[in-house]
Structure 1
Amino acid sequence: MGNSPTVPEDNSGEDSKLYIDVDRHKWPILYSPDYDISFWKLETIHPFDSTKWKRVYQLLNEKNMLKGLEDIVQPNEASVSDLLVVHTQEYLESLKSSTNVAMVVEVPPLAIVPNYIVQNKMLRPFRYQTGGTILAGKLAMERGWAINIGGGFHHCCSGEGGGFCAYADITLSIRFLFQRVPDVKKVMIVDFDAHQGNGHERDFMDDDKVYIMDMYNRWIYPNDIKAKSAINMKIELDVHTGDETYLRHIRRKLPEALDEFHPDIVVYNAGTLPVQKNNS
């Protein structure tokens, strides 16, 4: 991931339809059927599970934790104006090439698919999930907590995507908070995905209002050396790290980070692969 161009400060997303008012009877849990990606089985080429969001939602219903879509919040799709709050125009234009999208999401056959199909079947779900992450920030400040079942695209920065991450939803959510919620002056990112969160790290490289705690497997993608310099609390794990060691790091280091920084809000990226089980 190379150096990202600076985004102009006047991209404030003033016409955004993402910060909607939500009825108090709804749980601050965000999901939409538009999150899920499925077409021609191309999504199965990548190890990332692109329909897991639906199954998480279904499981919550099966466990009687929800009573259907009426209990949760369905976000709007992030518009170009919303995305320009963080992303460069050059980067968004690059996604109009199916070849570029194929490289970002690591699904090579997408390169030969007409871009209007790629936009509708692949990038549109990402934009809905990005809208969910942005709205989750607002709801968390209003309710004390919020969960977006999708999102967490932590390999994407303002000017470049990668690792199945096309939009920098974490960075966008934080930028919206800084611009629209006066009580938010300091934000902590806690990233416990198995991979280093190099996207948001590059976006907040020189921003002392954002504190980053990142725990990841040191031996796997992306190993972004430059981005690591933005991590305030870095925990690099080895392959086959067990539960006891993993949880010991969290119990010791997370309180240290909170004592050091005192954020107004914490953005927690749970990740898709905090743990991988060896069944052999």
Structure 2
Amino acid sequence: EKYLKSLKCSCIVAGIIEVPPVACLPNCLVDRYALKAFRYHTGGTILAAKLALERTWAINLGGGFHHCSKDRGGGFCVYADITLALEFLFLQDVIHRAMIVDLDAHQGNGHERDFTGDSRVYIFDMFNYQIYPGDFKAKTGISRSVRLRIGATDGEYLRELEKNLTAALGEFPPDLMLYNAGTDCLANDPLGRLDISPEGIMKRDELVFSLARMNQVPIVMVTSGGYQRSNARLIADSILNLHTKKLITAPPSSFSS
């Protein structure tokens, strides 16, 4: 509650989204033209998580604000949509175990801070450890960590993902997988600083959905970071690929139907 109240200060919001001129705007305008959109994204993640349980998969074309925790924002992330979605489902008593698979190029320190020590949540985070945020306290919340160096390429990336996500699902069979599918790992991204090809990212998404299907785990995907003009087209192409491979055409009610 204290954090949400702090968003009534335009200076606070400007710091979180890293747009200094926002600090000079009346908060009513900041709320209408910036925060309202973040709230729609957050609601989309919560709804998608609920729908994934009903239909085996769902995708929110947004969300993935993984640097925001319950009590602080940062890294362009204002609301903790990942935490809120899982807490909503726990509160509804429709899941008891959840796995966060965070493949954005950056460490997901927001949800890691929120779920540190929570045995209901398993966090798999594969990230470039040489860039923001370098949150050592949050790293204690990671159940399985894969640390990548600047310039990591498709071969290493996909090999480590398949090996470690397969092992993670063996260690912790979840009721839901929340997949943070950031595309800032794409080659030439100014912030992610990895060297993954568009084909590599499409293969990544295909691999995650395939493993979820193989283990009969409902999956909800959020699109998170990505800072190039080509990201939107890549996300669309990857979703089309999932459809072509019949990974998002599961029966409407359950895996067993």
TM-score bracket, shorter-length normalisation? 0.7 to 0.9
The corresponding residue for 2:22 is 110
Q: Are 2:98 and 1:187 equivalent residues in the alignment?
A: yes
The corresponding residue for 1:224 is 135
- CA distance 1:238–1:151, shift in 2 (3 Å): same
The corresponding residue for 1:50 is none
- What whole-Å deviation, never above 9, does each CA across 1:35-84 have from its counterpart, x for those lacking one? xxxxxxxxxxxxxxxxxxxxxxxxxxxxxxxxxxxxxxxxxxxxxxxxxx
- CA distance 1:278–1:106, shift in 2 (3 Å): closer
Matches within 5 A, 1:1-280: 89-180=1-92, 182-277=93-188
Instruction: Give the % identical residues.
Output: 55
SS at match of 2:57: coil
Letter in 1 for 2:74: G
Letter in 2 for 1:110: V
Letter in 2 for 1:256: A
Mapped to 2, the partners of 1:147 and 1:243 lie a distance apart of 24
Mapped to 1, the partners of 2:7 and 2:187 lie a distance apart of 31
Letter in 2 for 1:158: K
TM-score for both structures, normalised by structure 1: 0.67
Mapped to 2, the partners of 1:253 and 1:123 lie a distance apart of 36
Task: Report deviation, 1:278.
Answer: 7.4
SS at match of 1:170: helix
- What whole-Å deviation, never above 9, does each CA across 1:135-167 have from its counterpart, x for those lacking one? 011100000000000100000001000000000
Task: Report deviation, 1:271.
Answer: 1.3
- CA distance 1:105–1:216, shift in 2 (3 Å): same
- What whole-Å deviation, never above 9, does each CA across 1:88-142 have from its counterpart, x for those lacking one? x110010000000000101111000111010010000000000000001110000
Q: RMSD over aligned Cα, in angstroms?
A: 1.2
Letter in 2 for 1:126: F
SS at match of 1:249: helix
Task: Report deviation, 1:272.
Answer: 3.8
Task: Report deviation, 1:206.
Answer: 1.4
SS at match of 1:146: strand
Letter in 1 for 2:131: I
Uncovered stretches (5+) of structure 2, i.e. residues with no partner = 191-257
Q: Which runs of 4+ in 1 moved over 6 A?
A: none
Mapped to 2, the partners of 1:258 and 1:119 lie a distance apart of 40
SS at match of 1:229: helix
Mapped to 2, the partners of 1:251 and 1:200 lie a distance apart of 23
Mapped to 2, the partners of 1:276 and 1:174 lie a distance apart of 31
SS at match of 2:16: helix
Mapped to 1, the partners of 2:153 and 2:50 lie a distance apart of 35
